[in-house]
Amino acid sequence: MKSTQVVIKTLLAFAVILMVPSCAVNPVTGKKQLMLMSEAQEIATGKQYDPQVVASFGQYQNDQLLRFIQSKGNEMGKLSHRPNLQYHFKILDTPVVNAFAVPGGYIYFTRGILAQFNNEAELMGVLGHEMGHITARHTASQQSKQQLGQLLLVGGMMASEDFRNLAGYAMQGMELLFLKYSRDNEREADRLGVEYASKIRYDAQKMADFFSVLNKMSGGSDHGGIPSFLSTHPDPGDRQVAVAQQTNRWKTSLGYSDWQVNEDSYLHMIDGMVYGEDPRQGYVDRNVFYHPELKFSFPVPAGWKLENSPLQVQMAPEDGRAMMIFMMGKQASAAETAETTLKELNLTAISSKQAKVNGLPAIAVISQQVSQNQQTGEQQAIKVMSYFIEYGGAVYIFHGVSNDADFNTFARNFESTMMKFNRLTDSSKLNVKPRRIQVKKVQQNMTVANAFKYFGVPQDQMQELALLNNMELTDRLQKGKLIKIVGK
């Protein structure tokens, strides 16, 4: 895990590079456009951010599926408008339904979106769409527009502006990674996705079918919420109609007779994939956060919301007047971690003491950070309660943050959570299993609802799983049809 100072220095160096404007020819349009980076700088930027993406989400291991994506992606890349660019593909370990690209040829699929696809053609359409953002240099152009402050910190991550100086361990640069494109960019990426998928003989109409599924999902569901794809890739309107028209033109132009969809082969590749949140990486049960892999637990204040990522856990009340951050330190001892952390976050210690947390050695620190309000000129302060706890050969860090005026109000919440950090030994909590995609073969002609009933799907999950299969519960299935259900 990089320190705050190292990351900031690296990003500052990149920001200086990006300030040199140049005119370049767009590979897709053939027209000149103002760009703040060369292709070499674009590739270097992608290499810089790739480790941050992986660290923020983790990689999901499905070697067969990744090899398939890499193989087809390489084939598609050679037929794209940037055939000499090396493309990189990774599967991220998150249930969020999204796919995105960063400058320089890096394309990411979440396991959430891969679970939602029902055939190879849908995957290839979205892959072509993301490749289109790269070949048309949408990713590079969008990064050129980012402000330096947006490069350094994720907007809205902290409970208020006062807390952003404490986000050093957070997902730096994620605003850059989840670029929001214009509708014109989306139309062009759709058009390029159809072209690229068609050129490797996939039925690009399936991309439009998948966009229809995403629009249905935007009504809300239990499998990861509204798909982030729709917030980062705004619907340009009439998407399905436009994709269908473009698909028909390419089918006529290319004249292939064997347009691929490949449902069964795709479903076999995702059979067994983790679905939804993976409790082995941490989960909340009755206001207690459990981490089976690292074998610890701590309580979550009643009414507080919790966000879990591989880098840190964040907790905050709904009014946003306070926040707790939990993470792992780099140093071997609590004392060394405390000293380093205070320096990195520019915190001034008010008090410090040695402590025991359920028998584990710890350092407890109260600190503050004083800054000047740029609008009023008045000084303002935040206070931080931090616990540095040694456990299992590592140091775990809690930060409880609020404005000086609110600190005493929330101090009890902070201390109650931090002092109750404990070893996890309960086998029922340690051995929790994730839900997984299970591919089943329908044994006779029946409706989707009856098939789900046959395979033991609870009634309250049927609508969710119908959407997962891009079907209606009343649709008829033929004997031998493969469908997805979810189990453990």
SS3 content of the chain, % helix, strand, coil (to 5): 40, 25, 35
Alpha helices in 233-367 (DSSP H): 239-254, 263-270, 334-344
Kindly state the tokens that stand for 243: 């994709």
Per-residue pLDDT of the chain (488 residues; tens, 9 = 90+): 333 344 334 433 433 333 344 456 676 766 666 555 678 888 998 898 899 889 888 999 999 999 999 999 999 999 999 999 999 999 999 998 999 998 899 999 999 999 999 999 999 999 999 999 999 888 766 655 543 333 333 323 333 444 444 433 333 334 444 456 788 888 999 999 999 999 999 999 999 888 888 888 876 444 444 566 777 777 777 888 899 999 999 999 999 989 999 999 999 999 999 999 999 999 999 999 999 999 999 999 999 999 888 888 999 999 989 999 999 998 889 999 999 999 999 899 999 999 999 999 999 999 998 876 666 667 788 999 999 999 999 999 999 999 999 999 999 999 999 999 999 999 999 999 999 999 999 999 999 999 999 999 999 999 999 999 999 999 999 999 999 999 98
Give the total number of structural domains in the chain.
Answer: 3
Nearest to 130 by CA among 198, 190, 58: 190
pTM of the predicted protein model: 0.79
Residues 386 and 481 in one domain: no
Residues 472 and 449 in one domain: yes
For residue 283, what are the domain limits? 279-430
Residues 352 and 457 in one domain: no
Which CATH number do you get for residue 384? 3.40.1000.10
Q: Say how far residue 435 (Cα) sits from the centre of its chain.
A: 19
CB 386 within 8 A of CB 409: no
Residues 98 and 35 in one domain: yes
Residues 35 and 133 in one domain: yes
| Residues forming beta bridges with residue 297, ordered by sequence position | 290, 422
pLDDT, position 347 = 92
- C-alpha–C-alpha distance, residues 323 and 413, integer Å: 10
Q: Say how far residue 337 (Cα) sits from the centre of its chain.
A: 28
Residues 244 and 111 in one domain: yes
pLDDT, position 36 = 58
Domain end residue (candidates: 229, 248, 270):
270
Residues 180 and 224 in one domain: yes
Residues 424 and 480 in one domain: no
pLDDT, position 399 = 96
Residues 310 and 373 in one domain: yes
Nearest to 194 by CA among 138, 131, 264, 136: 131
- C-alpha–C-alpha distance, residues 398 and 414, integer Å: 9
pLDDT, position 435 = 96
Residues 357 and 263 in one domain: no
Residues 266 and 283 in one domain: no
